[in-house]
Chains A and B, each alone.
Chain A
Amino acid sequence: MSDKPLVLLVDDDPGFLTANSLLLEHAGFRVITAESGRAGLAAARANKPDVVVLDVMMERPDEGFILARAIRADRRLAGVKVLVVTAAAQRYQMLFEPDELWLPVTKVIEKPTAGDELVKEIANLLAVPQNSEGRK
């Protein structure tokens, strides 16, 4: 098995998946993708990625939130770091931050992400030891 970290991208926008897969692979990550929350959960369980990057508004407006809670509820995925990349903040004019009750993720960033921002964020997440995540 490769030593390269595995990243799962979950987004219903094929353009986002394609562009960011290329960027991440160029930066030295292995990448798999899924286009829905349900497919994303299955891919996470099958591949146990190091990081899941997920969108929120897919077929349902809260699909990413549901996926995030499902990943956190699955003990086999306890070590997986979850990064939410969403436009929901602009759409609903709300700021989302990780919280234990409804959004148990490692970090939330807002779309659009500029240049290599996603690569840097993932690298930063992987640099943080598992037991010192910035979750509230």
Chain B
Amino acid sequence: MSPEVIPPCQAGCPVHTDAGRYARLVAEGRYDEAFDVITRTNPFPSVCANICQRLCEKKCRRGQIDAPVALRALKRFVVQHVGRRESVKASESESSKNPDTPGTGYALTRPPSHAPTDLGSRSRVAVIGAGPAGLTAARDLALLGHRVSVLERLDRPGGMLNVIPQYRLPRPALDADIDAILSAGIELKCSCEIGRDVSLGDLLGSAGASPSRSFDTVIVATGLSRSRGTAVPGFGAQRFTAAIPWMADIWLGNKVDVGRRVAVIGGGNVAVDVARTARRLGADYVAMICLESRAEMPADPIEASLAEAEGIHILPSLALKRVFNHEGQIAAIELMAVPSVFDATGRFAPTYDPARIRTLKVDMVILSIGQAPDRSWAAGSGIRPNERGRIVADRDTHITSNPRVFLAGEALRGPGSAIQAVADGHHVADVVARFLATGQVTKPPADQAVPLPNFPPDVAAKLRKLHPVATEAEPFASSEPSLDEAAACREAGRCLGCLSGAAIDETKCAMCLTCYRVCPLDAIEIGEAMKPNPSRCQACGICASVCPANAIRLTTWDSAQSGFSIADCRLPIADPESQIENRESTNSVAVRCRHAGATVGSPDRARLDEPAVALLDVPCLARLKAIDLLRLFRQGYRDVSLYPCAAENCKYGKAWENIQSVVEFVRGILSRSWPEAKLDLRVPEGAAAQK
């Protein structure tokens, strides 16, 4: 069986969020359905709407033309829009009790509509660690009907998500997601440290433990909660500290010490968070010192550029060589050059040049050079670390040396993003669910989906010409503003709908090569039959409109089914009754460009949803001839509205001029033949220039 091909944005997301689908739903103003798509595989929608590393955007094929669709910003729009509306509803119903009840502004993930599976004999599962991996696994297993308890060392759930500063991850966003997850019926026990308050042996029901407190299985998802240190000369002065304890003091509300001139050692996202936080706490000068070059820095480019905009100095290709102390206080640091960080095979192998040094006057050093797992949970459990002190587990099945203990998340995989931890939470839950059902530890089936390939360079070049305003710099390169509704709909409309394309019925195809000749993107290939190449085809519909054998249909986004389906996109309109979506008997018809979804204004969108208006989607209004429109009037329609796409979305250049000239010509005929008939050309939202 050939592997399933999926859009690259979906393939790039560790939990395969169908980003193109929620973008399309946003474009159509269907925000609740967009929210459901987002939460189908991700129980942390509000968290990811703020801090996700945008792996989907990095794969977005629109990025080959101008800039990727701002999918994270769209996600944030959806969770906030839906959340605000839910808050209003809640406050209206609660207004008599407490009129000041504030909303969080973030939507709660709804549990799936189906009831949890009744397993008959429910199993008890303990999850150690309430971070994204642990909570995801807990939710999945609870929804399968297991009794799940989450044990958290800290006084609140969220794990390392708590360490992310509020300006980047607002507390209400994290709370909304966690509240929704726990509502699946999960027991949460905070301030419970394994090894101190309870042992792993107790959880597993070893001799002496109460059977009522024991669990069938334990999932360990304790993350990377410890900062790595360095034994650099001069180590140990006051204000020589590490990122995690320093940031933890902030969110725990403890007194936090900050210097006037702060050096943050590290180039990752945590280092950026530390640097920006130090600035907010009053440091006059903050420098980030990292081994990597500016281009190699592991931090998200958006975060790094925001840090620079706040006055933080990024000093790349440098390593800490020495700390100069005076009477126990840091006076300065010496840095040495790092000519390279990776060897020829891409392995991390930094080289140093101690002769090229630089001295920096600072009074505080905060290390952010990586994190490591806390392995204290394993003490006395019989689970032995390897010779390097690391707890090992099978990377496919998560199983440790204890057959009832599974390791997951960063504690197993090493450093990663929150969404990667969520993906691993799903993975371990799958393994554990199978184990509880069968008693066997089995590897889940491998992911067979493959991404649609990038555009070939010639297609990308042609598409650049077809998108008139597509030459500006990446709009979200330096910041990511929140989108209002109109901006979100416009941005969502930039999605190219990957996987939409022509489908040729071989039984009808006469091999006349017409499609081959007219395709502007050379997407039709000649074989034993004519065959569209999905990596080139953009579902423009030109081939379908000219095929004399009527053998070509288009796979396009179908809003009725919230997915891709085969649609009839024939042009010209030869047989309106068979092509028009049948609703009620009506004399009104709306003819809409397939690419107009995002730019149809709100009043017009409401009109299109009226049952009394028949809808006809066509690949391109500019390709309509006068005869096509006149056929509609001859068919009995007397109120015809045309909905073109906006100029910036138009794939065919002079579409607007063509439409206008056809409309004027048809109106002239109508005035003589059917004076009562109305032909209306609607102007897309935000496209006044088209007038």
Contacts and interface: CB of A to CB of B under 8 A. Distances in A.
Contacts of A128: 387
B229 A92 contact: yes
A62 B234 contact: yes
Contacts of A109: 389
Contacts of B236: 57, 60-62, 88, 92
B367 A94 contact: yes
Contacts of A77: none
A65 interface: yes
B388 A103 contact: no
A131 interface: no
Contact of B387 (A62, A68, A95, A124): A124
B656 interface: no
B227 A94 contact: yes
A60 to B, nearest CB: 7
A128 B240 CA distance: 35
Nearest to B380: A114
Interface stretch (B138-146, B241-249, B477-485): B241-249
B233 A134 contact: no
Interface in A83-127: 88-89, 92-97, 99, 101-103, 107, 109, 124
A135 to B, nearest CB: 10
Contacts of B228: 94-97
A23 B296 CA distance: 50
A66 interface: yes
B235 interface: yes
A66 B226 contact: no
Interface residues of A, number: 25
Interface in B185-235: 226-235
Contacts of B234: 62
A21 B387 CA distance: 24
Contacts of B160: none
B290 to A, nearest CB: 16
B227 A62 contact: no
Nearest to B372: A95
Nearest to A125: B387
B230 A102 contact: yes
Interface string A53-84: 00011001110011010000000000000000
A93 B387 contact: no
A57 B236 CA distance: 9
Contacts of A95: 226-229, 372
Given A92-B242, A124-B387, A66 B233 contact: yes
Contacts of A68: 231
Given A92-B242, A93-B245, A102 B232 contact: yes
B232 A93 contact: no
Nearest to A92: B229
Contacts of B230: 99, 102-103
Contact of B352 (A99, A101, A124): A101
A92 B244 CA distance: 11
Contacts of B242: 92-94
Nearest to A109: B389
Nearest to A128: B387
A96 B231 contact: yes
Nearest to B374: A95
Interface string B346-389: 00000010000000000000010000100000000000000111
Given A92-B236, A97-B389, A128-B387, 12 more contacts: A62-B231, A62-B236, A92-B241, A93-B226, A93-B242, A93-B245, A94-B229, A94-B367, A95-B227, A95-B228, A97-B228, A101-B352
27 contacts: A62-B234, A62-B235, A62-B236, A65-B231, A65-B233, A65-B235, A68-B231, A92-B240, A92-B241, A93-B227, A93-B241, A93-B244, A94-B226, A94-B227, A94-B229, A94-B242, A95-B228, A96-B228, A97-B228, A97-B389, A99-B230, A99-B231, A102-B232, A107-B389, A109-B389, A124-B387, A134-B388
Interface of B: 226-237, 240-242, 244-245, 352, 367, 372, 387-389
Q: Which 10 A-B pairs have the closest CB atoms?
A: A61-B236, A94-B229, A93-B245, A65-B231, A103-B231, A62-B235, A102-B231, A95-B372, A95-B226, A94-B242
